[in-house]
Amino acid sequence: MVISPELINLITGVISFLFTLLIFSYVLGDNPLFRIAVYIFVGVSSGYIAAVAWWQVIMPRLVYPAISAVNTGSSALMLELGLVLLGALMLLLFPHVTGLGRITLSFLVGVGAAVTLAGALTGTLIPQVMGSINAFDLNAASARNIGFMEAIFNGAIILVGTVLTLAYFHFGARPKADGSMHRLGLIEALAWGGRVFIGIALGVVFAGVYAAALTALIERISSLITFITGFLGNFL
Amino acid sequence: MRVITVFIAIISGLAVLSGYFLSGLFPVLTEVQTHLLNGAIILTGIAALVGIFNLISVHTDKVRRGEKGSVYSALLVISLVITFFLGIILRPEHDAMQVVMNGIVIPTEAALMGILTISLLYAAIRLLRRRVDMMSIIFLLTAVIILFGSATLPFGEIPLLGTFSRWVTQVWALGGVRGILIGVALGSLTTGLRVLFGADRPYGGN
């Protein structure tokens, strides 16, 4: 049976309209309608993720290669897939961090730690340090019509902000004579400056999130109006 | 068991890590890394399924015991099972699954994001009422400057505010964000190294 695109659009529009109204009912306070929408949303999202994991990970990376290995008689591939299946079986039989499930989890944690480590180093640490250095690149600044003093001044603010913010996250402390723990006076002073930069950074992030939320709100209200006017237009 | 799990975590981690940094010297390490990452991706996919089945079992138990809010749990389980089987039978790119995605998931996410507008405004007002210190004033002042500096206002742009807000974003905020990012990266680096040295064992084994 082939469903026309118009009918699909209508069904999508009606469901979308209903769920938007149910979620917006939260403005009146936490209520059963809002909860119904949220629980269905969690169920549908989880089911969708499970289906995607099945069709985009398990089938192409495990099931199809296993069938191919059996057909071609590739022993190396069969051994590799056998090990993965054994790991999967352990995970299924011991879903909590117990028994043989720990073996599979230790493999996942080891690989995850290595990927995180390499990602943090090559994806964040080196590019951010290079970014701080390049802020003083006067040739690049002049190519963008930025003056010498302006480039040095802005680069210095960025560098000072980076150092002070890092100082704020330095939690090493020494015990004093009365037994209380305090940071070094210099670190404490630098951390105070770091708080200013963190406040500004979080303020910018807040403004960004607020602008995105406002855009989403306007889009939803606009979709509600479009649906109602379109629906009424069919009868008037 | 503890020795085996620590050994597996360290060996698999070092093999993947050496694939990133030593593959120029030993090209075979790239192949080893690819196989290990492929295995980890498959197991992560299976772990996601295990997690979702765990969600079903928790909510099914709630329904069976008739706990408070079990009606919502029943709705969650029914919607999850129907979506999962539809996805398995029809595949996620099928029109029916797109109706589910475009009719339920995306509008609900967008509407929840829209509700966040009110929650964030309320949180900002509470912050000003409960804690008026230098940090909260800088935070809210920056947010207001950025919002008004980037918004399209009916009477046009406020003189100099747009330029000033761009300068705050691209210079002052960049310094703070860069410090936070480097701090997070250093934290991730330390945690990764602790796992690879066997000092931290989140997979159990004290």
Residue with tokens 């967008």: B110
pLDDT band, residue B205 (cuts 50/70/90): low
pLDDT band, residue A97 (cuts 50/70/90): low
Q: Which residues of B touch A61 (CB under 8 A)?
A: 38, 41-42, 45
Tell me the mean pLDDT in the region B73-93.
95
Tell me if B53 is assigned to some domain.
Answer: yes
Q: Which of A204, A219, A220 to mutate to test the interface with B (most CBs of B within 10 A)?
A: A204
Nearest to B43 by CA among A76, A92, A45, A66: A92
Beta pairing partners, A182: A174
Q: Does the structure show a pLDDT above 60 at B104?
A: yes
Q: How far is CA B40 from the centre of its chain?
A: 19
Torsion of CA A140, A141, A142, A144, to 10 degrees: 90
Nearest CB neighbour to B103, from listed A11, A88, A214: A11
Between residues B144 and A66, the one the model is more confident about: B144
Residues B37, A28: contact at Cβ < 8 Å? Answer: no
Q: Does the structure show a pLDDT above 90 at A233?
A: no
pLDDT band, residue A141 (cuts 50/70/90): confident
| B183 at A interface, C-beta within 8 A | yes
Q: Which residues of A touch B42 (CB under 8 A)?
A: 57-58, 61-62, 84, 88
pLDDT band, residue B206 (cuts 50/70/90): low
- Of the three residues B39, B61, B90, the one that is the final residue of a domain is B90
pLDDT band, residue B160 (cuts 50/70/90): confident
Burial class (CB in 10 A: 0-12, 13-18, 19+), A16: buried
Q: Does the structure show a pLDDT above 90 at A106?
A: no
User: Over chain A, what is the mean pLDDT?
Assistant: 87
CB < 8 Å from B in window 131-150 of A: 131-132
Nearest CB neighbour to A58, from listed B42, B112, B142: B42
Question: What pLDDT does residue A99 have?
Answer: 66
Chain segment A29-87, per-residue pLDDT in tens: 889 999 999 999 999 999 999 999 999 998 998 888 888 888 887 777 767 777 777 77
Q: Which residues of A touch B134 (CB under 8 A)?
A: 195-196, 199
Q: Does the structure show a pLDDT above 80 at B134?
A: yes
Question: What pLDDT does residue B162 have?
Answer: 87
Q: Which of B78, B117, B125, B127 to mutate to test the interface with A (most CBs of A within 10 A)?
A: B117
Residues A47, B79: contact at Cβ < 8 Å? Answer: yes
Chain segment B60-80, per-residue pLDDT in tens: 999 999 888 899 999 999 999
Residues A48, B101: contact at Cβ < 8 Å? Answer: yes
Torsion of CA B158, B160, B163, B168, to 10 degrees: -100
Tell me if B102 is assigned to some domain.
Answer: no
Nearest to A204 by CA among B14, B64, B38, B170: B170
Phi, psi for residue A175 in degrees, rounded to 5: -75, 140
Secondary structure, 3-state, A211-224: HHHHHHHHHHHHHH
Question: What pLDDT does residue A127 have?
Answer: 95
**Does the pTM of the predicted model rise above 0.90?**
no
| A24 at B interface, C-beta within 8 A | yes
Tell me if B120 is assigned to some domain.
Answer: no
Supply the range of the domain harboring residue B191.
Answer: 131-206
Q: Does the structure show a pLDDT above 70 at B150?
A: yes
Question: What pLDDT does residue A23 have?
Answer: 95
Tell me if B98 is assigned to some domain.
Answer: no
Domain ranges of chain A: 1-73, 135-236
Q: Does the structure show a pLDDT above 90 at B50?
A: no
Q: Could you give the number of structural domains in chain B?
A: 2
Tell me the mean pLDDT in the region B93-107.
93
Residue with tokens 């492929």: B38
Question: What pLDDT does residue A92 have?
Answer: 66
| Residues B198 and B141 placed together within one structural domain of the fold | yes
| Residues B3 and B83 placed together within one structural domain of the fold | yes
d(CA B81, CA A138): 60
Question: What pLDDT does residue A1 have?
Answer: 63
Tell me if B79 is assigned to some domain.
Answer: yes
